């Protein structure tokens, strides 16, 4: 805005006596009028708005950038609020734990732990079945070997 003031002051033909505040006020008025005009055009049905000129296009770009900045600020504020809330909850739980008695601490820890369960016998039964099948295969192999040996002995 300061550069705009300097440029207006340097012009000779229409003499401008402007300061920072005057430029800001003038811009705010232009932007407010543009937003009103755009809202009216959006509400009106059946009309085709004129193509935006250079000034309207610049105001539209500036308005979009401002909206983007406002959305980013809102997201940042929301994240900051969530972070503060999480920190507050963590601090509160730590304070409660620090103020507990030893008996209460043990009781809480016992509740937090999962109860021990006995291992089911399914795995043991499965292991025994596999072992029995392996022994059966080995015995069948031994029997076949004995039969072969017996046939070979008879043939001689």
**pLDDT digits over 61-79, tens only?**
999 999 999 999 999 999 9
pLDDT at 114: 67
- Say how far apart CA 132 and CA 138 lie, in whole Å: 10
pLDDT tier, 49 (very low <50, low <70, confident <90, very high otherwise): confident
pLDDT at 151: 72
Q: In this predicted model, which residue has the larger pLDDT, 25 or 90? A: 90
What percent of the chain has pLDDT above 70? Answer: 83
DSSP letter assigned to residue 130: H
23's CB contacts (< 8 A; 6+ apart) are 1, 4, 5, 8
| Domain limits, the chain | 1-49
Residue bearing tokens 């708005």: 49
């Amino acid at each position: 805005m300061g550069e705009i003031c300097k440029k207006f002051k340097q012009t000779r033909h229409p003499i401008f006596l402007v300061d920072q505040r005057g430029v800001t006020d003038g811009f705010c008025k232009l932007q407010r009028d543009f937003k009103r005009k755009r809202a009216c055009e959006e509400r009106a049905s059946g009309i085709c708005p004129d193509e935006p000129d250079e000034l309207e296009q610049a105001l539209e770009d500036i308005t979009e950038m401002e909206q983007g900045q406002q959305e980013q600020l809102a997201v940042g504020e929301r994240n900051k609020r969530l972070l503060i809330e999480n920190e507050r909850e963590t601090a509160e739980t730590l304070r409660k734990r620090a103020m507990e008695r030893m008996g209460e601490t043990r009781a809480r820890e016992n509740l937090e732990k999962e109860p021990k369960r006995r291992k089911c016998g399914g795995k043991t039964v499965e292991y025994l079945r596999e072992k029995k099948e392996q022994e059966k295969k080995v015995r069948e192999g031994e029997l076949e070997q004995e039969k072969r040996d017996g046939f070979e002995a008879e043939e001689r």
